[in-house]
Structure 1
Amino acid sequence: MLIISCRETKSIFIYENPRETVIPPTHAVEIFFASMMRVESIIGMLMYKSPNIISIIACTDGKALQVMSTLKGCIQKENCGKECPFKTKWHRYLKEVISCRGTSEEGMAASTWYLWLKSTSLIDQVNNFVLKWKDDEA
């Protein structure tokens, strides 16, 4: 799994198949590889950056979309009685997770990240998650 993180735009791009990589046009990105076996813990670590957007290009046997759906259920209190795997310090600051595929969502349409995605062939493959944090309301 290849992860590209941009502090400036508070955006994270996750490629479950690193062979299909396109680097976004920004000056300050962090790029790192992570094991597909530890998707939950990797996404948990990425949440400490309080990202506004997480974009995922999944592969057929990938787990990142499943993990993000679980996170969305945790936030909406729809976790079917299961204990949420994301009971961490950052969890209480996350207000909402909105998923959209290939289309813009409020708070994402004007972002440089989304405009870049629209200009690539990836837009039809990408799953976007817009994250709203409680401290962003001020």
Structure 2
Amino acid sequence: MNDGWSEAVYANPTLTFPYGEIGYSLDGLYCVVAVAREKMVKEHFLKIMEFARVNDEITIEIYGGDDCFTTLYHSRDEADFDDLLKKIEDSPEEILQIDFSVDALPEEEVKEALLTVFLQAFTYLSEHNCLSKLPSYK
């Protein structure tokens, strides 16, 4: 869980769609969307980070489609924006995943805020033609 990855012998309920998934795990409620790295420009990343500021309980992470263990951005970490752009530019990843989440057992209004933010981000990324197929892991 929070201390790293461990093999899951139980199913996490998820709703999967071509560009992402919405699910619930022991860590909490999460919504993931996949985007094409080359279509994501500075303004798109700024908009995504803006969504993180809407509600302090919503966490946003950006990580690779192939290497989902390497976090390129986490909204709870202090990050220099130019360094973030450089890390993403230098990344070999073609697909990036953007994860919006809240901790387990949140209040109803927090869950609602997460889903609202995710829908706004998804709509924005769709309108700017940034979405990509969600990678499948074997």
- When normalised by structure 2's length, the TM-score is 0.27
- When normalised by structure 1's length, the TM-score is 0.27
Greater RCO between the two (CA within 8 Å, min separation 6)?
A: 2
